[in-house]
Structure 1
Amino acid sequence: MKYQYLIVSILLGFLTQAQNFEITGKVIDDQGFELEMASVSIIDPKSEEVIEGGVTDMEGKFYLEAPTGTYTVKVEFISFEDRIYKKVELNKNLDFGTLELQTQVDVLDDVNVVYETTQVDVRLDKKIYNVGKDLTTAGGTVSEALANVPSVTVDVDGAISLRGNSNVRILINGKPSSVAGFGDQDVFQQLPADAIESVEVITSPSARYDAEGSGGIINIILKREKTLGVNGAFRGTIGDPRNTGAYTNINLRTDKFNIFNNLGYTDRKVPGNAFFDNQYPDNPNFDRIIENRKYDRSGKNFNMNTGIEYFFDESSSLTGSFFMRLGDDLDRTRNRTIRFIDNIQNSTTLRTEEEEEDDKRFQYALNYEKRFDPDNRNHKLTADFQYSKKDESVDNRIFEDVVLPTTDFVARQDVFETEDEDSFLFQADYVLPMGDAQFEAGFRGDYSDSKEGFLVNRKPAANEDFEVDGFVSSTFNFQQNITAVYSQYGNKLGDRFSYLLGLRFEQTQLKGKTTPVVEENFQQNFDFDKTFNGLFPTLNLVYELGEEENLTLGYNRRINRPRSWYLNPFPSQSSRTNIFQGNPDLDPAFANAFDLGYLKRWEQITLTGSVYYQRETESFERVQRDTGRDTEEDGIDIIENIPINLSTEERYGAELGILYNPAKWFRTNLSFNYFRFESDGSFEDIEYGATNESYFGRFSANVILPWDIQWQTNAFYRGPRENAQTKTDPIASLDLAFSKDILNDNATLSVNVRDLFNTRRREQFTVTPNFISDSEFQWRERQITFTFVYRFNQQKDKKDRNRGGGFNDDGGF
């Protein structure tokens, strides 16, 4: 009998040793937020080897298994203090319950820059910038916020570029949107920066994203709180030149629904100026014309983003949202023109424009999300429907008179422009995790129809009535229909190498119909109906050199579709002598891009770098030419700016980013980008090939002064540029901001100065066979803004909880 007991005891011992038990729990931060991707490890206390490890899911939960034994359990997350449990006896299933991690105040998050500066989170295919923390954009616009994002530049007239490439696709919450104007970047100079949660810079997009934008993708994420209970904030601004605004966001979250509402109102004045010195060596009338322009732009804008997310259960939800923007703008331009004959002043004219713009944009969206596996929330299906409408009208009254040597009538014009656009978006995405691998597939249909009316009434003489100008008045109907399907697969090979391989098919249809008001004046047919089919492969690779060091390699094929104003064949009327005219023969451009990236983190430094190469065929180039026509009033040559397809453009460059944070009170962010492009091609027997290189750099520093006053400095410099016709001088600017928390840190007072030295202006020199032009343009003069923010039930700093690693919802790793 003793031997039987002994044998049974030995067998039970072996069974016990062979049996695994579970350790479960949930990790939250000291504000009650679930911590996704927190690391949990089961460690042998003798050898200090990790027996089993994993990360928390989107709800902060973890599930680990290990054999019977005595262990140390460690829970850790970047910028939080570790929680360590010693002598944990594992002889049954253990539930640790809810574990709260405390913020580690003495150590900087080596991924994010906290405090009031732009936060940076590095992913495989993109970088995420939390511009909501940037003091220098308080009370500003989306354009001003984007101007502080590394790799992004915003020109003095609002044109947005990525790594010096203006062919960039801009999305709102991951989708094309009429709110963003479908490429009309002027809208970003009206939308408040306060509405932005973060900006994603995607230089190597996976197949999940649109193939549009040969330069890459900028995805703007709008704010939508998900904090339990009622919370919100109010922000008020006042500035000089006039910059008055109020912005509120309120959020109500329960277990069954989440209601969010953001309201914003701005009343801004944006003064600017321009100068043109044009010389015409062979012109029989005037050999030199100087223009001095003064812009006085003002606008009142109301924005609303509201919606509700309803949770059917823990695995499915439906979100309905509505976005509205109402704009009422008034722009006044005074253009004093001095004309010379044989370098002797002959006459001076004064041209005044008063442009009233009424802009309404509406967007309705539905999003359904279904998660199939409660233990793996990345296994999901999402479906989206979006309807957008744009209704814009512009009435521009133009007066031009000779003021020297005598007063005389030159021209009167009334230009009335309308644009109505309707667009529909249908999208579905399916994600299936398979262990370390992940499969994705999806569909997107993006269909838009716009009608642009252009009516010009001209007064031929002071004693005559207005009459329709039949040579430029027209209606332009434009349709863009894009249908796309994609699939991609990613996996890990070993512990260090991961890949994501995708293929996207897109069919693009561009249809245009031009109807002149007086059809007998035109013999040429400008209508077009073009269809382009394309396959767009993508490949993203990552190799882990170490725990805090990796190499990435990306390849993608992209398309750059011409926008409607690039195709509309009728000229603008902002000037009688310098006009922009679209080209209905313009075709899409296609590009192949490669990107090699490097990331290395130390205790106080994060280093990112990349080199890239892109080859684009049928690339766009805007050229200036003498039309051979002159004005009826005074015989001045008309200079035309027109987009054309050049044959090829090769672009390559390198960028470097350094986050250096030597102390809690001093943090810096430095980025530098160098690029060079070579283009070749001809138009109307003129060669427009050129070689151009340039660079830009950005430096940001955040210093905590005595009494907890924060001081932020942003400096920007862009080197000279040159294309086939034009040389552009360098640009340098400096922004300053100060802030102080008050009322028990529930409120913040701040002041910022944009373009402290008033130097952000574009200076260019253009040479063509028929004229030489020396010009200068400043979109907005120096501005100072005061801001007050009050928060209720809302913490000041919310850090980005996702560390990366594994696959994420955006199709990256």
Structure 2
Amino acid sequence: MFMKFIIQKSGFFLLFTFLGFFSANAQETGSISGMVTEKGTTNPISNAIITVYNSEDSSKSGATESDATGNFKIESLSLGNYRVEVTMIGYNTAVVRGITLTKDNPNYVIKSVSLSQGMTETEEIVVESEKSAIEFQADRKVFNVENQPITQGGSAIDVLKNIPSISVDNDGNVSLRGSTNVKITVDGKPFGLQGQNRSTILDQIPANQISSIELITNPGAKFDAEGTSGVINIILKKSDNFGYNGNIVLSTGTQDKYTGSLNLNAKKSNWNVYGNYDYRQMDFNMRGGFQRYNFIDPNAAYLDQNSSGRFRNNNHFVKAGLDYTFDDLNSLSLSGNYMYRDGKRNGRINTTQYNSQNNISNQLFSITGDDRTGYTLDANLNYLRKWKNSKRTLTGDFTFSRNDDDLNSFTNENPITPPNPTPLNRKQINKDGTNNFIGTLDLTNPFSETNKLETGVKATINDIDRNYRTEDYNWNTNQFANNVGLTNQFKYKEQVYAGYVSYSGKLDNFSYILGVRAEQTNTDGELVTTNETFKTNYFDLFPSASLSQKLGLTEEISLSYSRRIQRPQAWALNPFKQSIDAYNYFSGNPNLKPEYINSIELSFIKYLNTTTITPSVYYRQSDNSISRVRQLLDSNVAVVTFENYAKTKTYGIDFIVNSQLFPFLNINGSVSYFKTEVDATNLATALVNENSTMSGRVGAMFTAPDLFNLQVSYFYSGKITVAQGTLDPFQSFDASITKDFFDRRLTLGFRVSDIFNKMNFKVNITNDQNFREFIEMKRDTRTAFFTLTYRFGNYKDQKPPKRRRNTDQQQPQQDGFGF
């Protein structure tokens, strides 16, 4: 009840903000503010003259003087590009160029302008405007996360937890608008994230390497049609500052967590070379269990299992790249990512089984553990060709990825009731390998400033080999022997060949994008152990449309539609059973069909003086929806597998607010409500379920110049419905603080995640006539991190300062920022 109260209050707050700001007079204006200080000290300079010039025509746009504290603010500036001159008798003149005021970021803050006493030179500084926390583009929302203290020392999982419409549970499973069937890419590439260990790989991508998250809920024809609820694209950082620059980041956390990274970049003339290395050691404690009520076997009426364990993961992440510009029309980029991982796990399991008279029928204690190693290699070649006197472009992109994982695990059972002199001792040796090749060619041909045609082709080839071997200890021969029933090799090859056409245009304030994508899918599966094969070939068309109408200078409404597909993953198709423990197995389903999705979304954007408001409503219908199910294999053993549900309908609303209330305070929040209706009557007449879910997120960033940055974030996810039952609500509250030293060369940070330790994972299986089961997992999500960052070289996002003599001060001229 308390959590519902919190999220309802958050929703009321955002709704009140929405209504309140709508009643205000929105203006297409912005402001420039800052502080003037004496160089070498923190002493403020009062009565300095600050003049703002328009970069388009060098006309004077405003002027003021700094107050007694050195602060100044010039308001009522039209959106556009500006430069600022700061003068004071007896001091040098400072010129700040490259300031841009936009709808997303109408208020620019110059942290500090330092003047030198007795100097006669003018110091010019070209700055890059800070990105807005949220950017709204034609087909996506972009969340800029590189300067968020809340994720310091964390991973991509921690970053995704703070993105509206995205939910991440205690086990690292990512869902978008209630669906875990979301396509996740890194720089538009798969990066091994299409496999069974997606959450593991995401947890190994360091947060300090991520620049932004792109959220594409209704992708157009240019994007792959894969993904039920859309695409999440993780953009990694890439520096292109002239000269050399870099940084070192060290972090330590509670429960033996350590990270360190080195980032380097060098740019000169036509060359840009960059490289990053990151090391992460993460230790986690895990506990959990389940209670199963069996309705078909009175001797196994109730099963209670409790487990605990400790994990240690060591990860190495390397990124390197080279950009070369041949001339104004041709450029080439080479880049690669390499991630190596190894981990250990040790656990204990207590299992007790009762009959219908509540007497113990079976009791055992098990010791488990595993060693795992793996790597992900991603290599990319990109070529860009432009045409002279034309905006036509041709892009070629070719990517090869290799993902490899080895797992050696063991289970030693110690029966208590009844005693067993030959208990189960089991070893499992799993080897998974995936090769992925992607080749694309994209042509963009503008017919005018507002109309263009885009077309392209793409080939995606996945080659997967999964080899599982299980050995049980033979007490007669005193050695391990192969368990044929749990040993198999599964090979799977998927080829997708695609082509698309997209046309976009604009008529006054109305714009549109119309497109269609064609995909031919060929799959070949081979069960090497039994010499069985299966093939599927199918062709699909995926139309898409996006319509947008500006309702004035500050309002825009858009309507979009897309048809999409969710193909079965290889690990969900392999029918051979894998043993998790004596009472739990996993098995794929080779009869899975592709899931087809039709999605429609209506969005509205309102730009206000300091606030952006975005409500969206959507409807999504999935036919043959692929879902995880849990079934009783016999009276004792449950198996997790996959089935196609007849139909799943989801409709809901997202409401996002981003507000820069003051230069030092940014507040953002979101509330999502959706209802899911699940129809699995093709499996059993009783498998029908529905539920409404509300989730919300509220965050604030407080910036005290020259003092500290403070960020807090709260997230709540309501109950989620599946055909067999529900997932319980979960929540998290995080906070962080950073402090800069030595002109931002050194930054110290402290972060605490899940302060109240409320991130739990609990599943209730109640909609099955044979059994009921309640599963709960919990790991130590409450973690504190201390982080140190040191920057060197030309570390600022600016060009080197230029100096000129005061005698050269004449009428300001064009500075080139108006193009």
Q: TM-score range by the shorter chain?
A: 0.7 to 0.9
Q: Does 1:334 align with 2:365?
A: no
Partner secondary structure for residue 769 of structure 2 = coil
Partner of 1:805: none
Matched, 1:545 2:551: yes
Percent identity reads 27
Alignment of 1:166-565 (within 5 A): 166-178=180-192, 181=195, 184-341=198-355, 342-373=357-388, 378-403=391-416, 409-435=422-448, 436-461=450-475, 464-494=478-508, 496-516=509-529, 519=530, 527-565=533-571
Tell whether the 8 Å contact from 2:54 to 2:82 is kept in structure 1 after alignment. Answer: no
Deviations 1:241-270 (A, max 9, x none): 221111121111112111010111111112
- Is residue 175 of structure 2 the alignment partner of residue 161 of structure 1? yes
Q: 1:784 to 1:127 in 2, by over 3 A?
A: same
- Cα distance in 1, alignment partners of residues 798 and 601 from structure 2: 31
Alpha carbons of 1:108 and 1:591: their partners in 2 closer, same or farther (altered >3 Å)? closer
Change (3 A) 1:589 1:596: same
Q: 1:608 aligns with which of 614, 617, 620?
A: 614
Structure-2 change in CA distance of 1:166 and 1:117 (3 Å): farther
Aligned-partner residue type, residue 446 of structure 2: P
Q: How does 1:82-161 map to 2 (within 5 A)?
A: 101=97, 103=99, 109-110=105-106, 119-161=133-175
Q: Secondary structure at the match of 1:410?
A: coil
* Whole-angstrom distance in 2 between the partners of 1:107 and 1:508: 43
Aligned counterparts of 1:244 and 1:615: Cα–Cα separation in 2: 44
- Taking structure 2 as the reference length, the TM-score comes to 0.81
Q: Is the 8 A contact 2:489 2:528 kept in 1?
A: yes
Equivalent-residue separation in structure 1 for 2:587 and 2:131 (angstroms): 41
Q: Deviations over 1:63-89 (max 9, x none)?
A: xxxxxxxxxxx99766x64679xxxxx
2:574 corresponds in structure 1 to: 568
Superposed displacement of residue 118, structure 1:
8.3
Q: Name stretches of at least 5 consecutive residues in structure 1 with no aligned partner.
A: 1-29, 31-37, 46-73, 85-98, 520-524, 631-636, 800-813
Residue of structure 1 equivalent to 2:117: none
Tell me whether 482-491 or 108-117 shows the greater mean CA deviation. 108-117
- The one-letter code sitting in structure 2 at the alignment partner of 1:747 is L
Deviation at 1:622, TM superposition (A): 1.9
- In 1, the alpha carbon distance for the partners of 2:176 and 2:558 equals 19
Give yes or no for contact 2:241–2:797 (8 Å, CA) kept in 1.
no
Q: What displacement does 1:744 show?
A: 2.1
Match of 2:730 in 1: 731
Query: What's the offset of the Cα at 1:182?
Result: 8.5
After TM superposition, give the deviation of residue 281 of structure 1 in Å: 3.4
> CA 1:257–1:701 in structure 2 vs 1: closer, same or farther (change >3 Å)?
same
CA distance in 1, matches of 2:521, 2:787: 45
Distance change >3 Å, CA 250–CA 580, structure 1 → 2: same
Aligned CA RMSD, in angstroms, stands at 3.0
Which residue number in structure 2 is paired with residue 709 of structure 1?
708
Shift of 1:100: 6.2
Aligned-residue offset at 1:644: 0.8
Letter of the 2:258 counterpart: T
AA partner of residue 773 (structure 1) = E
CA distance in 1, matches of 2:481, 2:670: 55
**Do the aligned partners of residues 118 and 689 (structure 1) sit closer, same or farther apart at CA in structure 2, a change above 3 Å counting?**
farther
Mapped contact 1:258–1:309 kept (Cα < 8 A) = yes
Q: Deviations over 1:282-321 (max 9, x none)?
A: 3243321111111311111111110111111122111111
Measure how far apart 1:682 and its partner are: 2.9
The number of aligned residues is 703
The equivalent residue for 2:23 is none
Secondary structure of the residue aligned to 1:471 is helix
> CA offset at residue 485 of structure 1?
0.5
**In the aligned structure 1, how far is the partner of 2:482 from the partner of 2:159?**
42
Q: Structure 1's 256 and 107: CA in aligned 2 closer, same or farther, altered over 3 A?
A: closer
Name structure 2 gaps, 5 residues minimum: 1-33, 35-52, 61-75, 86-94, 112-129, 800-819
Residue 104 of structure 1, CA deviation: 7.9
Please say if residues 109 and 663 of structure 2, whose CA atoms lie closer than 8 Å, have aligned partners that are also in contact: no
Name the residue aligned to 1:596: 602
Give 2:699's aligned residue: 700
Conserved? CA contact 2:104–2:135, under 8 Å: no
Cα deviation for residue 707 of structure 1 reads 6.2
- Secondary structure of the residue that 2:159 maps to in structure 1? helix
Change (3 A) 1:498 1:233: same
Q: Which amino acid aligns with 1:419?
A: D
Give the secondary structure class of the aligned counterpart of 1:546: coil
Q: Partners of 1:381 and 1:75 in 2: how far apart?
A: 39
Per-residue displacement from partner, 1:518-539 (whole Å, max 9, x unpaired)? x4xxxxx853200121111111
Tell me which residue corresponds to 2:750: 751
Greater displacement, 574-583 / 410-419: 574-583
In the superposition, relative to structure 1, how do residues 671 and 111 fare at CA in structure 2: closer, same or farther (>3 Å)? farther
Distance in 1, Cα, partners of 2:484 & 2:108: 58
For residues 336 and 381 of structure 1, what CA distance do their matches in structure 2 show?
Answer: 61
* CA distance in 2: counterparts of 1:650 and 1:111, whole angstroms: 42
Whole-angstrom distance in 2 between the partners of 1:554 and 1:183: 32
Structure 1 residue aligned with 2:648: 649
Deviation readout 1:139-161 (Å, 9 max, x if unpaired): 11111111111111112211111
Q: Distance in 2 between matches of 1:762 and 1:101?
A: 51
Q: Distance in 2 between matches of 1:787 and 1:248?
A: 14
CA deviations over 1:464-490 (Å, ceiling 9, x no partner): 432211112100001110100111110
Q: In the alignment, which residue of structure 2 is the partner of 1:669? A: 668
Structure-2 separation of matches of 1:137 and 1:298: 20
CA contact (8 A) 1:265 1:300 kept: yes
| 1:187 CA drift (Å) | 0.9
Which amino acid in the other structure matches residue 681 of structure 1? A
Q: Normalising by structure 1, report the TM-score.
A: 0.82
Q: Counterpart of 2:225 in 1: which secondary structure?
A: coil
